[in-house]
Structure 1
Amino acid sequence: MTTPDPRELHGFGVGRGAAVGPVARAHPAPHVAQDLPAPLDLEAAKAAAEASFAAVGKGLQARADEAAGTLAEVLGATALMAKDPALLAQVRTRIDGGAAAVVAVDRAITEFSDMFLAAGGYLAERVTDLRSVRDRVVAHLEGLPEPGVPTLSRPSVVVADDLAPADTAALELDKVLAIVIEHGGPTGHTAIIAGQLGIPCVVRVIGATSLQDGVEVAVDAATGTVVVGPDDDVRQRVEARRTALAALEQDTAPGATADGHAVALLANIGTAEDAERIADVAVEGVGLFRTEVLFLGRTSAPTEDEQAEVYARVLTALGGRKVVIRTLDAGADKPLAFVTQAGEENPALGVRGFRLVRTAEDLLRTQLAAIGRAAAQTGQEPWVMAPMVATVDEAAQFAAIARDCGVRTVGVMVEVPSAALRARDVVQEVDFVSLGTNDLAQYTMATDRLRGELVDLLDPWQPAVLDLVAITARAGAEGGTPVGVCGESAADPVMALVLTGMGVTSLSMSPAAVAGVRFALGRHSLETCQRIAEAATAGRTATESRAAALELVDPQVREVLALG
């Protein structure tokens, strides 16, 4: 019997769920001693390294083939890392220089990881995947068990330093009660996938990896806590939460406030499989279809035919419900082999998103033509928006190109502060706008959103971020232009009330978050939401803003959703 250990660890929660269960620790990454002797046979060492990379790449691709949706795409891209000629060349060069095979692998991937971190953005996000390749290759070379989550013999709480997509793909989801990781961040792959699957998850939990296999823990995503050795009271609270959240899933009505003010509740997706998976879920459509998943990891752009087929699948799966398609958000920090850019010192501020029109307008026109074909084929009318629009001129330019390609409902993302500050002019050029609150926070606070240690600066409750959202919502209301939010802040029930009070007309989030947001909206009138928004924007700090908003939230909503 495990000895109780009544500690409480803290991190950042993903979702509102909770669970109690025994810890199942992931196998650690193999240690590589840096003073290993040079190989006696250089050619044999190089052959062994190449064989290990090939085996790992084959294994990752097999998992990608068995997976679906965003996870399949990410795994496929990770498999490509294991086959990267530049990486293999670095390993061979280091072996020729006298490094043992495992040392060569470790040093080469460390160098690539450092370059990815320095680049920031999407590349920094892929460092976990790159290190996962390293761990698997080294384990293969040394004949060790593959790092990651072991086979689960019972429902468990998975605990790890971090989880790469390959680790997540191997999870037996029917036995995963919750996920706890020591590193990572709220926008990392583990958090995103856990949110999509509705698995309670807490990230950046200092001390998590010190937990022993089998010890009982209570994981609460709503509060971001992990209680070690939970007593009966904690267990009862967890069970009450699980029961309450399950009951909320039974409500499938459209999103609306208590007095009937409509607020569309939509889902974020990345693939056609994601759309098909939510076909029977109680959402009113898709508020963000991230089309870049179609492009990443390829050596050439998908053809118009390929794209049209995917877009048609999405429109068909949603059966006439609203679908908002975001055009390609890539370039610079999301490099594409077929759209080369010179090295940029600040890729997050470089040629990305709509800015690719400056060098590859045909890429955008092909995508828009494919969307137009899918619309004609299905008889549906998707809404289409461009990312990274910073000026009124850019908004007008995108609208002209999109309409020229047959798109009827055209919008832009508001994720650059300049677009929010001039929202009154931007909304005159388009049919709708959508706030990407993750990037808006990043650019407003001058903080890389993938830097977990700066997560407090990226808090969507930061007053400066709230001000820009309010400016945009007000401009939309004045111009009669719909304003949506497709950043994950929409998944926060309290923030959802604030956004509604500001005048936001639709909220898009992970499907698992919809029930809680629907419940919160249905317990407050529009007037109350407006008062909550006023209280939030009057705060001087992120903590003050959220506390002021929470004070006005219905007590039953606070209790059921564990809002604090």
Structure 2
Amino acid sequence: MRRSMPEAALKGVGVSQGRTAGPVVRMAAPPVLPAPRRVTDPGAEAAAVAKALDALAADLERRAAHAGAEGAEILEALAMMAADPQLREQAEAHVRDDGLDAPHALDAAFSAHREALAALGGYLAERAADLDDLRSRAVAAALGLPMPGVPDPGHPFVLVAADLAPADTAGLGPRVLALVTERGGPTSHTAILARGRGLPTVVACAGVMDVPDGTVIGVDGVTGEVTVGLTGAEAEGVRESDRRDRERLAAGAGPGRTADGHPVRLLHNIGSAADLRPGAEGVGLFRTEFLFLGRRLPPSHEEQVAAYAEVFAGGGPVTVRTLDAGTDKPLPFLGLPAEPNPALGVRGLRVDRVLPGVLDAQLDAIAEAARATGADVRVMAPMVTTAREAADFARRVRARGIARAGVMVEVPAAALQADELLAEVDFLSVGTNDLAQYTFAADRQHPGLSDLLDPAQPALLRLVGMCAEAGLRAGKPVGVCGEAAGDPAVAPLLVGLGVSSLSMAPVCVPVVREALAA
């Protein structure tokens, strides 16, 4: 069989497990704004603005209702952005004061918000890319066009895009074999969602948008290699090899351990009971933000108890992370003011400095759910920096009858004080995504800095090793729950440093189990 084009190789950043091959289908461009119309009825144009934003928020909420917990979490946050009253007021002001028609008023309002977020840097700059997607969808609604999204050519394909919004990633259909983007970073929302689905994904792949539609390419989600111009037989060979690998991995079972029998607990990262899967030794990271996102009022005590109890009843130990709010997870009911540098501001446990009642209410609900189910529940706080913070958190956890209190290690200061932290708490959990970002002063969403965010960077491993050594001295467990834990090339390094558990997306457990056994 003749090749569709000479075979060539492109290189990006692999962010998931698996390999596949198939024909390229490129993401359609966003809608093009037509020439401005003369506005004769400002009231009608303002109503069109409101209708478009309502349609956008409703579409995102519909997608959230059919997505997994992690996807729903992100989609709810996007729906909240679309429903922002300030955004609507700004667009209506462009109609009233500037004489713009609805599509151009929406474009202007979203552009202003994007510039404001991009100027803040860090997490909020990454959210600016989400606004680009929301802008395209709102403008399409105002123009009476279908909202942009993933194409469906009627056959399996590799989706290629300049970038992909979380709203699209969360709703990818079964015909999408793999995802390759020209931009994006290894810990972006898109990468995390794709990894959780087990979809071979490569980001920051320069030149991929120049590959014509229909060209058959191979995608390696581990190495980041994209092979262009495969024959049909070669593509089938790649898919068959991946099928055999997945079947072999799926046949594996049992607890994690190295070749010499050293035990390593393999745990799951989840957002709600819907994410619970068999094949792990418990939950190492229960993200509780899902219950709070997109709400103007906090969930009631009864709501929280029911949601936590549903997870606890799943069996096995569960480590709950208390509310990780701030930066890219703004929660309306908190009413926190805007910050010039939110990644370095009031986030995680630091919210307790200004709103202590939120943490107390959550701990009350967790404790009641633990008592009701009799489950083995541990609780940890995000963004802990000092031993004093750790001691105060542990005191409040234990006062409610929860036996084990721990903290996340996400900033270098915490790693450097691991011994002091472990004098106050029962365990540490290293969040390598944020720890890398803060260690290397590199935005975790920046595609051009992905080499600095590599979890195998010596400086990052040294900080993880310091935490593990402190755990061995104290006789207390130290785990990793960042994306590095699910990387089969990095997991053995973490275990070699003395890490006692690895918590990851459920789809990653089989390949990590095999890597450790080897």
TM-score scaled to structure 2, two decimals?
A: 0.95
Shift of 1:239: 3.1
**1:126 equivalent in alignment to 2:127:** yes
Report SS of the residue matched to 1:284: coil
Counterpart AA for 1:17: G
Shift of 1:423: 0.8
Pick one of 365, 380, 383 that aligns with 2:375. 380
Q: Show the counterpart of 1:82.
A: 82
Shift of 1:154: 1.1
Shift of 1:509: 1.1
Pick one of 469, 473, 481 that aligns with 1:478. 473
Contact residue 120 and residue 333 of structure 1 kept, 8 A: no
Count, aligned residues: 515
Shift of 1:233: 5.7
Q: Distance in 2 between matches of 1:169 and 1:351?
A: 28
Contact residue 20 and residue 242 of structure 2 kept, 8 A: no
C-alpha distance after superposition, 1:146-205 (max 9, x if no partner): 2111224111111222222332344222x1211111222211222111111101011112
Range with bigger deviation, 93-102 or 284-293: 93-102
Counterparts of residues 7-406 of structure 1 (less than 5 Å): 7-32=8-33, 36-96=36-96, 97-173=98-174, 175-231=175-231, 236-237=237-238, 239-275=240-276, 278=277, 281-317=278-314, 319=315, 321-331=316-326, 334-406=329-401
Contact residue 217 and residue 235 of structure 2 kept, 8 A: no
Report SS of the residue matched to 1:267: strand
Q: Show the counterpart of 2:427.
A: 432
Moved over 4 A (4+): 231-235
Q: Distance in 2 between matches of 1:140 and 1:169?
A: 20
Contact residue 333 and residue 352 of structure 1 kept, 8 A: no
Q: Distance in 2 between matches of 1:32 and 1:265?
A: 50
Q: Distance in 2 between matches of 1:475 and 1:518?
A: 25
Report SS of the residue matched to 2:227: strand
Shift of 1:296: 1.9
Contact residue 21 and residue 238 of structure 2 kept, 8 A: no
Shift of 1:428: 1.3
**1:503 equivalent in alignment to 2:504:** no
Q: Distance in 1 between matches of 2:301 and 2:380?
A: 18
Shift of 1:438: 0.8
- Aligned residues: CA RMSD: 1.9
Report SS of the residue matched to 1:335: coil
Q: 1:439 to 1:397 in 2, by over 3 A?
A: same
C-alpha distance after superposition, 1:289-316 (max 9, x if no partner): 1112222211122122111111111111
Q: Distance in 2 between matches of 1:23 and 1:405?
A: 55
Q: 1:85 to 1:197 in 2, by over 3 A?
A: same
Contact residue 121 and residue 333 of structure 1 kept, 8 A: no
C-alpha distance after superposition, 1:14-60 (max 9, x if no partner): 22201111122222111236x63542332222222222222222222
Contact residue 11 and residue 205 of structure 2 kept, 8 A: yes
Q: Distance in 2 between matches of 1:66 and 1:483?
A: 35
Contact residue 73 and residue 290 of structure 2 kept, 8 A: yes
Shift of 1:440: 0.8
Q: Distance in 2 between matches of 1:331 and 1:193?
A: 20
Range with bigger deviation, 52-61 or 483-492: 52-61
Shift of 1:105: 1.2
Counterpart AA for 1:223: T
Contact residue 79 and residue 294 of structure 2 kept, 8 A: no
C-alpha distance after superposition, 1:520-548 (max 9, x if no partner): 1111xxxxxxxxxxxxxxxxxxxxxxxxx
Contact residue 437 and residue 485 of structure 1 kept, 8 A: yes
Contact residue 331 and residue 339 of structure 1 kept, 8 A: no
Q: Show the counterpart of 2:516.
A: 521
Q: Show the counterpart of 1:411.
A: 406
Contact residue 188 and residue 444 of structure 2 kept, 8 A: no
Q: Distance in 2 between matches of 1:163 and 1:203?
A: 10
- Unmatched tracts of structure 2, length 5 or more: none
C-alpha distance after superposition, 1:438-492 (max 9, x if no partner): 1111111112212222222222222221111111110000110100000111112
Counterpart AA for 2:275: D
Counterpart AA for 1:495: V
Contact residue 181 and residue 203 of structure 2 kept, 8 A: yes
Range with bigger deviation, 496-505 or 184-193: 184-193
Counterpart AA for 1:290: R
Report SS of the residue matched to 2:95: helix
C-alpha distance after superposition, 1:360-408 (max 9, x if no partner): 1111111111111111111102111011111111111110011112211
Counterpart AA for 1:51: K
Q: Distance in 2 between matches of 1:286 and 1:387?
A: 16
Q: Distance in 2 between matches of 1:522 and 1:470?
A: 21
Percent identity of paired positions between Structure 1 and Structure 2: 49
- Unmatched tracts of structure 1, length 5 or more: 524-564
Q: Distance in 1 between matches of 2:136 and 2:466?
A: 47
Q: Distance in 2 between matches of 1:327 and 1:391?
A: 17
Contact residue 141 and residue 147 of structure 2 kept, 8 A: yes
Contact residue 127 and residue 328 of structure 2 kept, 8 A: no
Q: Distance in 1 between matches of 2:337 and 2:512?
A: 43
Report SS of the residue matched to 1:230: coil
Q: Distance in 2 between matches of 1:37 and 1:233?
A: 52
Contact residue 491 and residue 509 of structure 1 kept, 8 A: yes
Shift of 1:9: 1.7
Shift of 1:325: 0.7
Range with bigger deviation, 450-459 or 17-26: 450-459
Contact residue 394 and residue 425 of structure 2 kept, 8 A: yes
Q: Distance in 2 between matches of 1:302 and 1:423?
A: 34
Q: Show the counterpart of 2:415.
A: 420
Contact residue 22 and residue 235 of structure 2 kept, 8 A: no
Q: Distance in 2 between matches of 1:505 and 1:418?
A: 21
Q: Distance in 2 between matches of 1:392 and 1:423?
A: 9
Q: Distance in 1 between matches of 2:252 and 2:455?
A: 28
Shift of 1:242: 3.4
Report SS of the residue matched to 2:479: strand
Report SS of the residue matched to 2:160: strand
Shift of 1:238: 5.1
Contact residue 255 and residue 521 of structure 1 kept, 8 A: yes
Contact residue 382 and residue 408 of structure 2 kept, 8 A: yes
Report SS of the residue matched to 1:484: strand
Q: Distance in 2 between matches of 1:310 and 1:193?
A: 22
Q: Show the counterpart of 1:453.
A: 448
Counterpart AA for 1:471: M
